[in-house]
Amino acid sequence: MGICIYCKTPAGFLKKKHKECQKKFVVGTNEIRTLIKLSVSNDSNIKELKSKINAIATDSHIAEPELRNTIYDGWKLAIEQAFEDGILSKQEEDKLVDMIDNFEFKKELLNSDPSYMKIVKGAILRDILEGKIPERVSISGNLTLNIQKSEKIIWVFQNVRYYEMRTYMQHVGMYRGVSIRIANGIYYKVGSFKSNPVEINKMVKIDAGILVVTDSHIYFGGRLKSFKIKYDKIVSFKPYSDGLGIQRDAQTAKPQIFLTGDGWFTTNLIMNLAKM
């Protein structure tokens, strides 16, 4: 006689679960995820939330580790819910952090999860939009770049690919003329080939390294090239899905592109710091 993996009672010959128990389990896990997701934008507190989750878990036969995984999935959905309007409010941040503490998410799990980093990034952007210089990042180890003592480091992007837009000349043309038949299967072509120079713009990878964003400059440090750019020397920005392009205020300056892997944060961070 098999035992139901959900309610732990006899399930029948060679059976591991009751259909009703499985249905309850699926409905219950979805309900918990939705409950946590919506809690970030309503008036419920963490005590009420935990009470409702425990009641659903008991009724739906959701035990560990499934319950912990379901709660964590719901928390990640709550983060996406908080960013639906593009801004993480202080209240939303507090609720999300409160869940981390009360549900005892492991630091090792959080530090490797982009969802957690999104909370930090959202809080940094909110500080900047409120006219504050964020102080949420601590640097361990020594940076090889000469950051001035008066500057505050806002963020450090690792493994950044640095590109420059280069212009190349390419000759494009076509043959014009006629063919004269002089024998069976033999033709003599009369005409000329005319070509025109055409400018071709290409993104060329120059280097890879770190991109340090401070309150007054962006610094790039690579194996071959290192430089800094002051915000008031940037005349335009071009957002990319995985980075940001800038154009400096100099006659010979070429468009510079930094691919960080997070175009949303890179663009909002640097563009808003440049406006402060």
DSSP state of 149: T
Q: Which pLDDT does position 110 carry in this prediction?
A: 93
- Greater confidence (47 vs 174) lies with 47
12 pLDDT band, cuts 50/70/90, is: confident
- Is the preceding peptide bond at 65 cis, omega within 30 degrees of 0? yes
Q: CA-to-CA distance for 245 and 243, rounded, in angstroms? A: 7
Chain-centroid distance of CA 25 in Å reads: 32
Q: Quote the pTM value.
A: 0.81
Q: Which pLDDT does position 131 carry in this prediction?
A: 95
Helix (H, G, I), strand (E, B) or coil at 227: strand
Lowest mean pLDDT among 50-54, 101-105, 169-173, 253-257: 169-173
Average pLDDT over residues 208-224: 96
Average pLDDT over residues 243-266: 94
Q: CA-to-CA distance for 40 and 211, rounded, in angstroms? A: 33
Q: Which pLDDT does position 181 carry in this prediction?
A: 55
Does the pLDDT value for residue 192 go beyond 90?
A: no
Are 220 and 209 a contacting pair, CB within 8 Å?
Answer: yes
Q: CA-to-CA distance for 119 and 93, rounded, in angstroms? A: 7
Does the pLDDT value for residue 58 go beyond 80?
A: yes
Q: Which pLDDT does position 139 carry in this prediction?
A: 82
Q: Which pLDDT does position 190 carry in this prediction?
A: 53
Q: Which pLDDT does position 113 carry in this prediction?
A: 93
State percent of the chain over pLDDT 90. Answer: 71
Average pLDDT over residues 33-42: 95
Domains within the chain, CATH numbers bracketed? 2-129 (no CATH), 153-168+200-274 (2.30.29.30)
pLDDT tens-digit readout, 72-92: 999 999 999 999 998 999 999
Q: Which pLDDT does position 191 carry in this prediction?
A: 55
Helix (H, G, I), strand (E, B) or coil at 146: coil
Are 235 and 216 a contacting pair, CB within 8 Å?
Answer: no
Residue type, 168: Y
Average pLDDT over residues 211-233: 96
Does the pLDDT value for residue 177 go beyond 60?
A: no
User: Position of tokens 């998410």?
Assistant: 105
H helices present in the chain, as ranges = 19-39, 46-59, 66-82, 90-102, 107-111, 114-129, 263-274
11 pLDDT band, cuts 50/70/90, is: confident
| Most confident listed range (7-21, 93-107, 162-176) | 93-107
Q: Which pLDDT does position 188 carry in this prediction?
A: 55
Q: CA-to-CA distance for 121 and 72, rounded, in angstroms? A: 19
CB neighbour list of residue 178: distance below 8 Å, 6 or more residues apart: 189, 190, 191
Does the pLDDT value for residue 18 go beyond 80?
A: yes
Instruction: Return the biggest CA–CA distance within the chain.
Output: 97
